[in-house]
Amino acid sequence: MERRNLDLELFRDESAINRGEPGLVHSYMKCLATAMQAVGDGNGPAWWMGASGFAFRIWTCDTLCPSAMSMFDFNTILPQAIEQLGYKPVYISRLWDQQKQEARKRMEAHKHIVAAVDKGVPSIVWDLHEAEWGLITGYDDGRDAYFTITHDGHTSTMPYENLGQNGIDILAVSIPGDANDLSREEAIDKSIRIAVNHATQNEWADRPDYQNGFAGYDQWALVYERWGLLIDGGQIENIGVPIHEYAKYYAAHYYSARSYAREYLNLISNHDPDLANAATKYAQVADQLRYLWTEAPDSPTPNRQLLDDFVARLHNAKRLEAEAVEALKMYLGVKV
């Protein structure tokens, strides 16, 4: 009976936190950063967020449901992020409509998870806790259980049989493999193309309930407008969701992301005027979103003026991001 567990903690970006920013928030990227640290990748969180494209993405739901953060094409974006960071992805997936493949895919994933742990690499796994990504850091054949780290840094265990069936019937296991031959220049070019494509909704979203790209800002602002109308009409009890908690969740995600967009573009600009311009614009987007994070309400009945301010800042953020994307297009040589 084999038993092994890696000595890992969930990655924290202390530099960003010391700047008064959230640091890494999206659970997939927190886990991928932890895996990058485990394999000895020294590029750091600004590169990881930017090169992967996650610094430039936004997904929203018409109720601000946290499900938006996972409402994208797993089979494209998850392995792509690893490729963009310079590694060959090991990726095993099974969706809810593929029940006949459940046992085979679970066994296939288990073999790769064990092999990765034996090489000192954790696996990034969907739905280990609270419909978020987490890490499998070890295995215990005597107990038929994995050792895990959740998205909020807690260690736990999970039965082997729960892999891909831990509450949400989807299997998605991502593991950084050997280094690939992607050059830094190629990674940068592809990341900028990811940013432009996402902004213009060329990445999949389950519309109309979910929106991404520029439309994501519009939907986010519309939720605040509707929230204010419910408060005005004394009907906040009809909202049906913990909207103030969701608002904090969204603000942390996207203030974090745009802070990394700023840092990444400053990192790679190398005096290029278009990248420098885009970095400045994303810094301004981050400034707009920071207020939504620092002033996120603690109750479902905040001051109406606060919600109006949030709406205005989201419209400003969209406008500024559109200017940033135009600069990225200029860098790519795309006609605008």
Q: Tens digit of pLDDT for each residue in 306-318?
A: 999 999 999 999 9
pLDDT (0 to 100) of residue 335: 58
Cα atoms in the 13 Å half-sphere on the side-chain side of 148: 22
Best CA proximity match to 32, nearest among 77, 93, 95, 94: 77
Q: Taking the chain, what is the end-to-end CA distance rounded to the nearest angstrom? A: 61
Contact predicate 15/46, CB 8 Å: no
Burial, 336: exposed, middle or buried (Cβ in 10 Å; 0-12, 13-18, 19+)? exposed
Q: 240: buried, middle or exposed (CB in 10 Å: 19+, 13-18, 0-12)?
A: exposed
pLDDT score of 152 more than 70: yes
Strand partners, 173: 92, 125
Q: Which contiguous run of DSSP H or E holds residue 305?
A: helix 304-332
In whole angstroms, give the CA distance from residue 189 to residue 281. 19
- Banded pLDDT at 99 (limits 50, 70, 90): confident
- Tell me, what's the pLDDT at 79? 98
Q: What confidence category does residue 239 fall into, taking pLDDT thresholds of 50, 70 and 90? A: confident
pLDDT over threshold 90, residue 336: no
Asked if 137 contacts 147 with a C-beta cutoff of 8 angstroms, the reply is yes
More confident residue, 237 or 43: 43
For residue 41, pLDDT over 60 is answered with yes
Residue 134 backbone phi and psi in degrees, to 5: -145, -170
For residue 300, which phi and psi values (nearest 5 degrees)?
A: -75, 0
pTM of this structure: 0.96
What's the pLDDT at 115? Answer: 98
Q: What tokens appear for 157 in the block? A: 């265990």
Q: Positive or negative CA dihedral for 240, 245, 247, 252?
A: negative
The one-letter code for the residue type at 5 is N
**Which residues are bridge partners to 131 per DSSP?**
none
What residue segments make up the domains of the chain, in order of their start? 3-42+87-179, 185-332
